[in-house]
Homo-oligomer: A and B are copies of this chain.
Amino acid sequence: MTTTTSIKEVARRAGVSLGTVSNVLNQPERVAEATRKRVLDAIAELGYVRNDSARQLRAGSSRQIAIVVLDVANPFFTDVVRGAESAAEEHGVMVVVCNSGEDADREHRHLDLLEEQRVRGVLITPVDDTRNSRLEKLIDRGTPVVLVDRGSGWHNRCSVAVNDVLGGRLAGEHLRAQGHREIAFVGGPMTIQQVADRHEGIKLALGEAADLVVVSTPNLTVASGRQAAGQIAGMPPAERPTAAFCANDLLALGVLQEMTQRGVKVPQDFAIVGYDDIEFAAAAAVPLSSVRQPREQLGRTATQLLLEEIESDGGHEHRHVVFQPELVVRASSSRPARRRSRTSSAG
């Protein structure tokens, strides 16, 4: 298929040697004006395209970094990707986007391929934060890795994260201040550190002041949110929560949809706080309260740390950058004038 025009033919056409063509491509200033022009003309005429495999083979490494995300369709990650891309672009580095789909096997397969391709470095939000020996191996073999939205327990790596415990606390304090005494935490699996941290945060915030019910979900999607809401609605009135803090906005939107569909009024009968503050949170049926994270910033910073490590010759110190989240209160959790006598009587 791909017509194979090599440097050799360019050289012949221009009447110069192989090495000269290479120099024109890589160190143009070393080549005399006239020769350079002849070579460039030949390149244009033949439609020559440099073969990156050969270049890499010789050079030993590529000009690519990779970002492995949990879900390409999640607005949180797409924003992180955008941030990473813009930072990488400034350094002439290409970003390869890989989607693990929260599936450890797929993640591993991606890492295998990326390693074979000798990417310069990897930004990753690992599916499983605990026993990830595949990732360890990658690191041991010398590929720089920066953990995105992860961090604890990886002292041998740079990481970029948001203080999720704080995020959970903000949500918890807010809900407590609104007078809720039975609160659901919707999210899972707990092996995802973010989820565990957010849970930890709200637990800290509530203390003895309110009961926290964990409604566990298999992943962080709208569909799971709807299911969780169904589960909550099915609880006996006495112990049914009056508010939910969801581990991300997709879950929260799912909960909102399901509750609305069941005729449960938000926020009058049920308050919801999400996490991520994605673009659609503000546009939801009931504008969603959410914990905002600096998403693009996260991607940007992660990329900068990675490039820094790549460019440093060994003398690199791993850093952990932690951003502070911020609670954005909207209608979905705002205390209505009247209280939950209605909820009780309805239940």
Contacts and interface: CB of A to CB of B under 8 A. Distances in A.
Nearest to A283: B253
A334 interface: no
Nearest to A47: B141
A35 interface: no
Nearest to A78: B73
Contacts of A51: 57, 116, 118
Interface string A1-29: 11110000000000000000000000000
A79 interface: yes
A94 B50 CA distance: 22
B2 A61 contact: yes
A60 B2 contact: yes
Contact-residue bracket for chain A = 35 or more
A165 interface: no
B222 A118 contact: no
Contacts of A79: 73
Copies of the protein in its oligomer? 2
Contact of A97 (B4, B72, B113, B142): B72
B57 A57 contact: yes
A52 interface: yes
A253 B75 CA distance: 15
Given A73-B75, A283-B253, A54 B52 contact: no
Nearest to A309: B1
A49 B142 CA distance: 12
A137 interface: yes
Interface string A70-95: 00110100110110010001000010
A99 interface: yes
A280 B47 CA distance: 45
A89 B89 CA distance: 28
A267 to B, nearest CB: 14
Contacts of A142: 1-3
A233 interface: no
Contact of A85 (B53, B99, B256): B99
Nearest to A50: B116
Contacts of A283: 222, 253, 256-257, 280, 284-285
A113 B94 contact: yes
Given A53-B118, A222-B283, 12 more contacts: A1-B143, A2-B141, A2-B143, A49-B115, A52-B118, A53-B53, A53-B57, A73-B75, A85-B99, A97-B97, A256-B283, A280-B283
